[in-house]
């Protein structure tokens, strides 16, 4: 965001904040998509781009939105294979939230004529 | 609606009206979507916008359309987190209608590059 | 239809014709949609518009297409609530056809910012 | 709109209301589309359906929205050929508003496999 | 935006900030659209919703993005007719920026089956 | 059309009917599209399929819709090259109507991986 | 295809050719759609148009593509009701192929404002 | 096309056939698109894919469809830069047809995150 | 990709490389689509085009992306029927990867008005 | 591209390469779009994302594709306002190519509910 009035300077971080699930008595879905994920190819060093789609059923904790944005930002200068980075994000969120269900889809931009998507699921929806 | 001929001035209200289900002998679905839901962010005070999708199977009562519109309007000046407000709407409608099935989806407008949807389900479709 | 050569003047009617299912030895689906359904609001008298989607598995009888068109036309000057008129159409077709399965979806045009759909199912597809 | 709380009963009318153009010092466009126009075929008596698209540059007067809706409604029980009814609407609005520019497009639903649109323009955009 | 970490509380304002056009030696277009405009109907008091599309060629000044967002927010509790509010926004921006060209389109949500768009242009693109 | 009640048996014909332009004092457009045109390939005898789009500004005469449908039908068993048949239709309509403007577009279905469209214009729109 | 170089003249035929399934050890799907099906209405003699969608799991035999095209062509001058012709095609292919699964969908063009689709299934996918 | 009955074996060729324009007395457009163009990258030898869009106004000659298909095929094993091959096709067709107008657009598949289109025009449409 | 700086010349190959599944402890999906598959028709020798969609759940090995691209390229000069080539690709990948699940869909470009898709599945998703 | 076989490690660079226009005798368009542009907000330091669309008519020089990709990459760690960075790219390409015509459109991702596009044109198309 273009915070030109009273701008807040932010930093990428691996630290994910949580808040208490306001309705843990019920199973419900939280879906958060971002088309703004980018990291580097570990072989060539060139940028990769992906849309990350998160869908989870919270137990006691929910992931805080701004910290999730900064967490995604933290991959910007890191080199990762598609399969590995998708599982890393899934593992970080599963460890953080112990959710009743979680799915991560990483839809990578085309490379060499190939369109690649990695989809990781934890538990049952 | 622009009721310029003989205009009726309306007010937002938490009071939801019902009418008797004309066909309670049968399970059937009533789906009511509105792209016109807005409330405030409880942290920053800024407006949030969402599309609210309701799908329910009535038992003895159905929700009256105009009162539902005024009920959605009543959130306009209130501050709520996404997860909480979606569960509040679900709870209010479940208490009012005791429906055989109910689902609420709140599709919030993008904030900080993140697209958030909350989906609450009650019973089985 | 614009039947300008040798025009046939038709009338709306509640009378639905049938013809014999040519293949009753098999379960198969007949789907007939019309975007041209209109009736009146019983409270305000103003026109409502809907798309009616019919899907059924015939037993011994199928509904004749032109009589279905005239039947839908017969609602043009009648006042009905959304829930009631959808169940009426379902009941009339179930009584007429005794189908192995039937579903009616009535997708009403937006009113007051609310998009309403009523869906009635009979039997299993 | 489903005005179930304190319902106002309305009537179709050929009488179109106007209000004063709030900014006559400037040329600007007002576009009003309705997918809810219906009249009758003058040959067969069967319903025709159309989307009516209006685009005009007001001079001293603007057409009032609710009266336009009731005006469109007034064609519901009248028989008109496609070409004639589109020119009628254009003429009525030109007489009423004396606009600097006006265009009417009537997009009729398919009949006999033919999709017909009539477009009338008055002045230059 | 969900500024949950170190949140900045903002206020709606009619005060629009500008910054110096970095390239006044060239004619170029700046287009800023928001689907998040809402004000009130001056007759009924009910909320209206619109998408506001701005397109301008700057002269010496550009409008600052965050102040534009707060400016749009300032209409949230005000009652305005469609035609008037669109011209008001155009006038405020023309006074502020003295742009070489400016166009405002306000695409209002459907009311009573009518879809209304107001388009104001200043100068030539 | 499925005219099962009191069916009228029709025949394909090259004879096109007209009716008097109800508003010759004004230039306006009549657009009639059909996705249901089929003729034969003059080399192989196999069926070709096209969508025919007609746009004209009438002078004293308009083409009658049902006769146009029967006219299009008359090509069903005839063999014609794409370029020729499109010009034939244009010529027949120009001779019949002496229109102020006319355009025919014939969008043929893909053959051998090639998508062909022929567009003929007469006069200026 | 426009086979203008060394053209082959073909004929419509009810004779369907097959070839041996190259991989009968596995269940797999073959889907063949054509938007180019046309026959005649048995009541009025006028042309009907449909898209035919075939999906099957072969056992020992597959249907040869060119003969399927000529088979569809063979209906061009025949009069059939929608329900009957769809079941005829299904029966012919089931008799020919003895497939492990087969589905035919016939999506007919709109007639009298009604959109009709017939769907026949044989076995389980 | 899968010409399995009485198959004709074809060859790629640079030889383009023409036929006489059946209506040279009139300016009209012939548009032929193919999504099936492929050649090789002259640097890496890897396949490139493009959609080729041709639009021309014939003078005395039209390009024959099947020979155009074989002509496009002839580039399959040749190495060419995007800009060059598009101009080559334009030049070959201009030399062949001496058209009143011609445009070639070559829409290449994405490479390295870049989507490239080359557009060559000859004369005025 | 247009590797004009320090170009690497590549060759088509049937040799598929693998790398170790970084997360074999979890079932997850890898989806790789290419719109750039082409081979030859074994009857006519003419080019066929298809989009190949791969979806698999890896066990111990994943297919390396660049080698998959070169593998698809290797079919460019080979003649294969649609059904056979799709099963060949499935078999090669199943032999290579011994995946927990695999699906191949080959969506071929239209030929003779027929759109053909072959879908092969191995195991359960 | 995932250059895992014989990988070439690349670096972002401001150095743009050119090659000689192969057809300077003709005005033609080269269009190159990338959805993969990212830089930083100069106020907050957070990433911005944009699609960059380039359209130019070359004179004596064309921009080399791979160097353009590396050039766009060079903005990844730089902070720039939307208006400035778009004019910078335009200026760099105009200086490099001295094109007969050039247009740059930068379509930025939504921030704070505002969708911003900057469009710079040089010369006439
Ligand atoms: Ca569930
Ligand atoms: Ca159900
Ligand atoms: Ca409609
Ligand atoms: Ca079934
Ligand atoms: Ca203007
Ligand atoms: Ca919206
Ligand atoms: Ca310009
Ligand atoms: Ca079609
Ligand atoms: Ca005009
Ligand atoms: Ca299966
Ligand atoms: Ca393509
Ligand atoms: Ca022209
Ligand atoms: Ca394709
Ligand atoms: Ca699963
Ligand atoms: Ca994108
Ligand atoms: Ca040009």
* Cα G99 to averaged position of ligand 4 atoms, centre (Å): 16
Mean pLDDT across G16-40: 97
Output the six-digit token pair for I94: 């199943």
pLDDT in tens, F60-106: 999 999 999 999 999 999 999 999 999 999 999 999 999 999 999 99
* Cα C98 to averaged position of ligand 3 atoms, centre (Å): 30
Whether residue A104 lies inside any domain: the answer is yes
Mean pLDDT across A59-74: 97
Mean residue pLDDT across chain D: 93
User: Which residues neighbour ligand 3 (ion) by CB within 5 Å?
Assistant: C 35; D 35
DSSP assignments along E42-66, one per residue: TTT--EEEEEEEEEEE-SSEEE-HH
pLDDT band at A10 (very low <50, low <70, confident <90, very high): confident
Q: Is the pLDDT of residue G50 over 90?
A: yes
C93 Cα to chain E: minimum distance (Å): 30
Portion of chain E with pLDDT greater than 90, in percent: 89
Tell whether residue B83 is among the known ligand binding residues.
Answer: yes
First-residue to last-residue Cα distance in chain A: 33
Mean residue pLDDT across chain J: 93
Tell whether residue H20 is among the known ligand binding residues.
Answer: no
Q: What 3-state DSSP class applies to D35?
A: strand
Whether residue H2 lies inside any domain: the answer is no
Output the six-digit token pair for H27: 């300016």
Whether residue B37 lies inside any domain: the answer is yes
DSSP state of C118: E
Output the six-digit token pair for B56: 């329910």
Please indicate if any CB of chain D lies within 8 Å of the CB of F26. Answer: yes
| CA F100 from centre of chain | 17
Phi, psi of F114 (to 5 degrees): -110, 130
Whether residue D35 lies inside any domain: the answer is yes
Comparing C-alpha atoms, which of E90, E6, J105 is closest to residue D25?
E90
Contact G36/F2, CB-based, under 8 Å?
no
* Nearest neighbour of E112 by CB, restricted to D1, D27, D58: D1
Contact J124, E30 (CB under 8 A): no
Contact D109/G109, CB-based, under 8 Å?
no
Portion of chain H with pLDDT greater than 90, in percent: 90
Q: How far apart are CA B107 and CA B90, in angstroms?
A: 14
pLDDT band at C2 (very low <50, low <70, confident <90, very high): very low
Comparing C-alpha atoms, which of C111, C62, C64, C118 is closest to residue C89?
C118
Q: Please give the residue that has the higher pLDDT: either H1 or H109.
A: H109
Task: Give the lowest-confidence range in G4-18, H72-86, J9-23, J88-102.
Answer: G4-18
pLDDT in tens, I12-37: 999 999 999 999 999 999 999 999 99
The answer to whether C48 is a known catalytic residue is yes
Please indicate if any CB of chain A lies within 8 Å of the CB of H109. Answer: yes
pLDDT band at F3 (very low <50, low <70, confident <90, very high): very low
Please indicate if any CB of chain F lies within 8 Å of the CB of C98. Answer: no
Q: How far apart are CA B124 and CA C9, in angstroms?
A: 49
Mean pLDDT across H31-52: 97
pLDDT at B79: 97
Q: How far apart are CA I50 and CA I62, in angstroms?
A: 23
* Nearest neighbour of G116 by CB, restricted to C23, C28, C65: C65
Contact G30, I86 (CB under 8 A): no
Mean pLDDT across A33-56: 97
How many C/F residue pairs have CB atoms within 8 Å? 34
Whether residue I10 lies inside any domain: the answer is no
pLDDT in tens, I106-115: 999 999 999 9
Mean pLDDT across J121-125: 94
Contact E43, B4 (CB under 8 A): yes
* Nearest neighbour of I8 by CB, restricted to J8, J64, J65: J8
Question: Which residues of chain B neighbour J113 with C-beta distances below 8 Å?
Answer: 49, 109-111
Mean pLDDT across I78-96: 98
Whether residue J105 lies inside any domain: the answer is yes
Q: How far apart are CA F23 and CA D94, in angstroms?
A: 15
I-chain residue closest to F111, CA distance: I112
pLDDT in tens, B52-106: 999 999 999 999 999 999 999 999 999 999 999 999 999 999 999 999 999 999 9
pLDDT at A5: 47
State the Rg of chain J over Cα. 15
Please indicate if any CB of chain G lies within 8 Å of the CB of D110. Answer: yes
User: Which residue do the tokens 């670096």 mark?
Assistant: J11
Q: How far apart are CA E107 and CA E110, in angstroms?
A: 9
ipTM of model: 0.93
Neighbour tally for B31: CB within 10 Å: 16
Please indicate if any CB of chain G lies within 8 Å of the CB of H26. Answer: no
Q: How far apart are CA A6 and CA D104, in angstroms?
A: 49
pLDDT at C7: 53
| Ranges in chain E, pLDDT < 70 | 1-9
Residues of H marked as catalytic: 41, 48
pLDDT band at H4 (very low <50, low <70, confident <90, very high): very low
pLDDT band at D10 (very low <50, low <70, confident <90, very high): confident
Portion of chain F with pLDDT greater than 70, in percent: 93
Q: Is the pLDDT of residue I5 over 50?
A: no
> What are the b/e assignments for E35-56, b being 16+ CB within 10 Å?
bbbbbbbbbbebbbbbbbbbbb
Strands, E assignment, chain F = 18-20, 28-40, 47-57, 61-63, 101-108, 115-122
Please indicate if any CB of chain J lies within 8 Å of the CB of H36. Answer: no
Contact B9, C73 (CB under 8 A): no
Q: Indicate which ligand has the atom closest to the C-alpha of E26.
A: 7
User: How many domains does chain D fold into?
Assistant: 1
Whether residue A99 lies inside any domain: the answer is yes
Comparing C-alpha atoms, which of D21, D11, D122 is closest to residue D69?
D11
DSSP state of F26: S
Q: How far apart are CA E70 and CA J112, in angstroms?
A: 10
pLDDT at G10: 80
Please indicate if any CB of chain H lies within 8 Å of the CB of G43. Answer: no
| CA B83 from centre of chain | 14
Whether residue H41 lies inside any domain: the answer is yes
What residues pair up with A125 in beta bridges, in sequence order? none
Mean residue pLDDT across chain A: 93
Length of chain I: 125
* Cα E109 to averaged position of ligand 6 atoms, centre (Å): 8
Query: What CATH number corresponds to the domain at position H23?
Result: 3.30.1130.10
* Cα A26 to averaged position of ligand 1 atoms, centre (Å): 11
Query: In which domain, by residue range, is G30 found?
Result: 18-122
* Cα A93 to averaged position of ligand 13 atoms, centre (Å): 38
Q: Please give the residue that has the higher pLDDT: either E28 or C8.
A: E28
pLDDT at G4: 40
Contact B67, B13 (CB under 8 A): yes
Contact C20, C61 (CB under 8 A): yes
């Amino acid at each position: 965001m273009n915070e030109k009035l009273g701008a807040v300077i932010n930093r990428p971080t691996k630290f994910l904040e949580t808040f208490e699930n306001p309705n843990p008595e019920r199973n419900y879905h939280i879906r958060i998509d971002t088309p703004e994920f980018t990291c580097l190819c570990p072989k060539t060093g060139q940028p990769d781009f992906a849309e990350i789609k998160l869908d989870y059923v919270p137990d006691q904790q929910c992931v805080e939105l701004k910290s999730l944005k900064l967490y995604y930002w933290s991959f910007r200068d890191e080199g990762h294979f598609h399969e590995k980075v998708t599982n890393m994000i899934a593992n970080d969120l599963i460890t953080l939230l112990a959710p009743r269900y979680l799915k991560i889809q990483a839809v990578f931009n085309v490379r060499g004529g190939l369109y690649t998507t990695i989809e990781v699921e934890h538990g049952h929806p």
